[in-house]
Amino acid sequence: MGRKLSHGFSMLLTLGVMACGAPLVIAQEPLSAQAPILEEIEPLPKSILEAETIDVDPKRTYEEPGTTENWFGGKHGHGQFAHRFDLVHSHPDDPSRHIGFGQPLTGMSWRNRPIHADVFAGAIMLQNLVPGEVEQEGSFFDGVRLGYDFDHYWGAEVRLGFAEGRLTYPTNASFSGKSQLIILDYNVQFYPWGDAAWRPYATLGLGAAMFQYEDALGRDRGQAQVSMPFGLGLKYFVHKRLALRFELLDNMTLGGTDAMSASNFSVTGGFEYRFGGSAPGYYR
pLDDT in tens, 100-125: 899 998 888 999 999 999 999 999 99
Residues 34 and 50: their CA atoms lie apart, in Å, by 38
Q: Indicate which CATH number applies to the domain containing 262.
A: 2.40.160.20
pLDDT in tens, 179-191: 899 999 999 999 9
More confident position, 186 or 43: 186
- pLDDT above 70 covers what percent of the chain? 65
29 contact partners, CB below 8 Å, separation of at least 6: none
pLDDT of residue 256: 65
Residues 216 and 174: their CA atoms lie apart, in Å, by 11
Residues 71 and 151: their CA atoms lie apart, in Å, by 18
Residue at 3 is within a domain: no
Under 8 Å between Cβ of 182 and 210: yes
Is residue 233 pLDDT above 80, yes or no?
yes
pLDDT of residue 132: 72
Under 8 Å between Cβ of 105 and 239: no
Q: 3-state DSSP call for residue 226?
A: strand
Residue at 45 is within a domain: no
Residue at 249 is within a domain: yes
Residue at 239 is within a domain: yes
- Domain count for the chain, please give it: 1
Under 8 Å between Cβ of 82 and 75: no
Residue at 184 is within a domain: yes
Instruction: Give the structural domain span for 96.
Output: 82-282
Phi-psi region of 150 (alpha: psi -120 to 50; beta: other; left: phi over 0): alpha
175 contact partners, CB below 8 Å, separation of at least 6: 169, 216, 218
Nearest partner of 242 among 97, 96, 119, 155, judged by Cα: 119
Read off the pTM.
0.67
pLDDT in tens, 151-180: 999 999 999 999 998 888 887 777 778 889
Residue at 275 is within a domain: yes
Alpha helices in 171-282 (DSSP H): 279-282
Nearest partner of 136 among 125, 146, 144, 128, judged by Cα: 128
Residue at 126 is within a domain: yes
Question: What phi, psi does 36 have (nearest 5°)?
Answer: -55, 140
Residue 262's CB is within 10 A of a number of other CB atoms, namely 21
Residues 129 and 178: their CA atoms lie apart, in Å, by 12
pLDDT of residue 136: 83
Residue at 96 is within a domain: yes
